[in-house]
Amino acid sequence: MAETRKLRPAVAILQRFIEIDGGTLGILVSVLLFTTVIPLMLLGFSYFHDFAENISPGTIWIRELGLVYPISDRVRAAFGDSAGLRSNWTLIGVAGFLVWGVPMAVAIAGIFARAWRRAPLELVPRVVRGSAWFVLYLAMMACRERIAFGTDHTGLTKALFFTAALVPVWIFWSLTPVLLVRDGGRGFSYLALAGLAGVVIDGTCIPVAGRLVFPTLLEGWNGFGPMGVAMALLTWCGVIGTGWVVTACVGAVLWERNAPSKTVVESQTRDLSRDGFDRGGL
């Protein structure tokens, strides 16, 4: 640990990312996001707009990524109108996507275990705590959406609402190690600092990069119709997934550098003998 603290933060984070094979894990997360989170986002948006025929679920990404004509029209056309999803708003339909959130949460728990150098949780606690994490994630997404886009403001007021929307993001990423990492609550006061990694990466850098890059990315799939929009989203999910892995690494390194040395050593050595530690449960 002493040697790690001597490294520059950027070097320590890069080493941790390489150590856990972050690139491969980012691809895994991207597939999980595309197949689990995006359908739930579409259903949730359509439900809150009463499955209106004049509103497209694609509005989620039009607002989030700041898309304008003619790209915005392509996205609207690709997703159709909200009324088309009414038949999916059933107990079985929604539960089907929610169930897929469990393996996603289990995978994220494995990623955090590796990044934080902890033994993975046993299967039952991993599923229970992972499910709680997934519900917290959906709640964070809903709160962030309502705060940032729930009202129509411009100028300074709009900027203030966007800043306020980062509070749920900070709470979510601060609590993520508590839920997904063995002994993740140790040094709890320093987890707030680790949560700032999520604010900077997931709450700020990724959305800003999306507004700059996604229109060009979508143009690259021009001519492929709805499939082109889907492929662009899948590619962008890869960016988000990699960002999540980086968030885990940054949060872990920040926690290790700021929490008391005794707390860090005890947390990382207590369960090193448990089987599956090297793979982080993945």
User: For 146-192, how does the pLDDT look when each residue is reduced to its tens digit (9 = 90+)?
Assistant: 898 877 767 788 889 889 999 999 999 999 999 999 877 766 677 88
pLDDT, tens digit, 9 for 90 and up, residues 216-231: 888 888 778 888 889 9
223 in a structural domain:
yes
277 in a structural domain:
no
Distances, alpha carbon 71 to alpha carbons 42, 76, 220, 223, in Å: 19, 9, 12, 12
66 in a structural domain:
yes
Domain membership of residue 148 as a residue range: 11-269
3 in a structural domain:
no
Specify the pTM.
Answer: 0.87
212 in a structural domain:
yes
1 in a structural domain:
no
User: pLDDT at position 275, please?
Assistant: 46
155 in a structural domain:
yes
Instruction: Give the total number of structural domains in the chain.
Output: 1
Is pLDDT of 277 > 60?
Answer: no
